Structure 1
Amino acid sequence: MPTPTCVWDLKATLGEGPIWSAEEQAIWFVDIKGHKVHRFHPASGETASFDAPDQVTFLAPRAGGGFVAGLKSGLHHFDPATGFAFLGQIEDADLNNRPNDATVDGEGRLWFGTMHDAETIPTGALYRLSAGGEPLRQDGEICITNGPCVSPDGKTFYHTDTLEKVIWAYDLDADGQLSNKRQFFKVEIDDAWPDGSVVDSEGYVWTALWGGHGALRISPQGEIVDRITLDAINVTKPCFGGPDLKTVYFTTARKGLSDEQLAAYPLCGGLFALPVAVAGQPQYEVRLDRP
Structure 2
Amino acid sequence: MRGPVAAEQIPAFTQQDLRDRFLVQDLLVEGEYRAVPSHYDRVVAVGAVPTAAPLSLEAIPEIRSEFFLEHREIGIVNVGGAGTVTADGEEFAMAPEAVLYLGRGPREVAFASADAAEPARFYGFSAPAHTAYPNTLATPEEGTIRELGDQLTSNRRTLRQVIHENGIRSCQVGMGVTRLHPGNMWNTMPAHTHERRTEFYLYFDVAGDARVLHLMGSPEETRHIVVGDRELVMSPSWSIHPGVGTQAYAFVWAMAGENQSFDDMDHVQITEMV
Q: Smaller-chain TM-score range? A: 0.3 to 0.5
Q: TM-score, normalised by structure 1?
A: 0.34
Give the TM-score normalised by structure 2. Answer: 0.36
Structure number having the greater helix percentage:
2
